[in-house]
C-alpha cells in the first residue's frame, strides 16, 4: 500500500513538473511573440521616420532649386536693366551734345566765310591770323566732342553722306558721278551724319 502511494505521489509530482514546464514554455513563447511584434513596430516606425526625412530633403532641394532659379532670373533682369539704363544715359548725353553742336554748325560756316572774306579783301594779316586762331580753337573743342568734317570734293556721290543740289557737266571723265563742288560742308558726330554735305555732282 505504501509503495502504491509513493508511486502515485511521484507520478503526481512528475505531472506537476511537466505542467510547470509547459506553462514556462508557453510564457516564453508569448514573450517572444510580444518582443517580435515590438521589433516589427519599431522597424515600421523607423522606416516611416526615414521616409519623412527623405520627403523633407526632397522638398528642401526643390525649394532651393526654385530660389536659385529666381535669384538667377532677378540677377539677369537687374544686369539687363543696368546695361539698358547706362546705354540710355550715354545716348541722352550724346543726343544733348548733338543738338548743341548742330546749332553751332552755322557759326562754323560763318567763321569760314569771314576768314575767306578777309583773305579776298586783302585784310591785315594779323586780323586774318586772329580770326583763324579763334576758329581753330573753337573747331578743336568741337572735334574733341566727336565732330568731324566731311571731305566731299572729288569723292563719289553717296546719298548716305551727300545731298545733290544740282548736276553739271563733268570737267573730265574722271569726275563723272563724283562731287565737283561743295555748297555746304557736311559733318559727322561720332561717326553719325548730323548734316549732309550739299554738293554739285558731275555728269
Is the pLDDT assigned to residue 36 strictly greater than 70?
no
Is the pLDDT assigned to residue 106 strictly greater than 60?
yes
Backbone phi, then psi, for 178, in 5-degree steps?
Answer: -120, 165
Query: What's the half-sphere exposure (Cβ side, CA atoms, 13 Å) at 8?
Result: 5
The strand pair at 147-149 and 187-189 is best described as antiparallel
Instruction: Tell me the pLDDT of the chain averaged across its residues.
Output: 82
Query: In this predicted structure, what is the pLDDT of residue 185?
Result: 95
Would you call 55 helix, strand, or coil by DSSP? helix
Question: Which CATH number, 3.20.20.140, 1.10.3720.10, 2.30.22.10, 2.30.130.10, labels domain 146-203?
Answer: 2.30.22.10
Distances (CA, A) of 9 to 15, 18, 123: 10, 14, 164
Query: In this predicted structure, what is the pLDDT of residue 20?
Result: 53
Quickly state the pLDDT bin for 24 (edges 50, 70, 90).
Answer: low
> Which set of grid coordinates corresponds to residue 141?
573743342
Domain range list for the chain: 146-203
**Secondary structure letter of residue 191 according to DSSP:** T
Q: Would you call 197 exposed, middle or buried from its count of C-beta atoms within 10 A (0-12, 13-18, 19+)?
A: buried
Distances (CA, A) of 99 to 96, 155, 172: 5, 28, 40
Integer Cα distance of 149 and 100 in angstroms: 16
Is the pLDDT assigned to residue 89 strictly greater than 80?
yes
Is the pLDDT assigned to residue 42 strictly greater than 80?
no
Residue pair 159/71 in contact (Cβ under 8 Å)? The answer is: no
Q: Lowest-pLDDT range, 24-33, 73-82, 140-149?
A: 24-33
Query: In this predicted structure, what is the pLDDT of residue 57?
Result: 87
**Averaged pLDDT for residues 85-110:** 87
Amino acid at each position: 500500500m505504501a509503495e502504491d502511494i509513493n508511486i502515485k505521489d511521484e507520478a503526481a509530482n512528475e505531472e506537476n513538473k511537466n505542467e510547470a514546464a509547459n506553462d514556462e514554455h508557453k510564457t516564453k513563447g508569448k514573450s517572444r511573440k510580444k518582443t517580435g511584434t515590438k521589433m516589427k513596430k519599431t522597424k515600421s516606425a523607423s522606416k516611416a521616420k526615414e521616409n519623412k526625412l527623405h520627403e523633407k530633403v526632397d522638398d528642401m532641394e526643390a525649394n532651393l532649386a526654385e530660389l536659385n532659379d529666381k535669384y538667377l532670373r532677378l540677377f539677369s533682369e537687374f544686369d539687363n536693366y543696368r546695361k539698358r539704363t547706362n546705354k540710355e544715359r550715354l545716348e541722352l548725353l550724346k543726343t544733348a551734345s548733338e543738338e548743341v553742336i548742330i546749332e553751332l554748325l552755322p557759326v562754323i560756316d560763318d567763321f569760314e566765310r569771314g576768314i575767306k572774306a578777309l583773305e579776298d579783301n586783302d585784310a591785315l594779316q594779323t586780323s586774318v591770323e586772329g580770326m583763324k586762331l579763334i576758329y581753330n580753337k573753337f573747331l578743336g573743342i568741337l572735334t574733341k566732342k566727336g565732330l568731324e568734317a566731311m571731305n566731299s570734293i572729288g569723292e563719289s556721290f553717296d546719298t548716305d553722306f551727300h545731298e545733290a543740289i544740282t548736276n553739271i557737266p563733268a570737267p573730265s571723265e574722271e569726275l563723272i558721278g563724283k562731287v565737283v563742288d561743295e555748297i555746304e560742308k557736311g559733318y559727322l558726330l561720332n561717326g553719325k551724319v548730323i548734316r549732309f554735305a550739299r554738293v554739285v555732282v558731275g555728269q
